[in-house]
Structures are given as C-alpha cells and as structure tokens.
Amino acid sequence: MTHKNMWGLVGIAWNLGYVIALPLIGFALGGRFVDKLLGSSPLFFLVGVLAATVLSTVLVYRKVSILIKDEEDDSRNSGTPKTPKERSHN
C-alpha cells in the first residue's frame, strides 16, 4: 500500500468518525438542554441520541455507497475486474 492510499484511507476514517460523532454530540447536548428546560430528563436526551443514530446511519450509508460506486467505476475503467461478478462476465 502506498502512502497516498494509506492517507486516503485515514481521511475516509476521519470523515466517517466525524459523521458519527458530531450528530451524536450535537443531538445529545441539545436533548439534554431541552430536558433541563422542561424537567423531562432523560426523554429528549434519549430522543436526541436516537435521532443522531438514525442520521449517522443514513450519512454513513450514503458515504460508503459513494465510495463503493467510485471503486467500481475505477475498476471498470482500469480494465481489470476486481469483483467476482465482474470476473464472471469476462
């Protein structure tokens, strides 16, 4: 693995980490704030964590789907099939 590929993977990992951590922190703190205002602890905190989990799942799915599509496009353009499905068609 080249350094360029390694740093590309590190960048993807950091990006996915932010996509998971930032909504969780934001929604959890927001829910905690609303709970303190309304005296409804831990209702809105838990709602915030659940919302962050759903949002993070959707965002990670989209990012990974884009990465897979890009990898498949690169594979098709290079002329060397990488997936078993592509190998069976050649």
In the chain, domain spans: 9-76
Q: How far apart are CA 84 and CA 48, in angstroms?
A: 41
With bands split at pLDDT 50, 70 and 90, how would you rate the model's confidence at 80? Answer: low
pLDDT digits (tens, 9 = 90+) for 36-76: 999 998 999 999 999 999 999 999 999 999 989 988 888 88
Please give the structure tokens belonging to residue 17: 């980490």
pTM, whole model, 2 decimals? 0.74
Angle, helices 3-38 vs 43-78, to 10°: value is 160
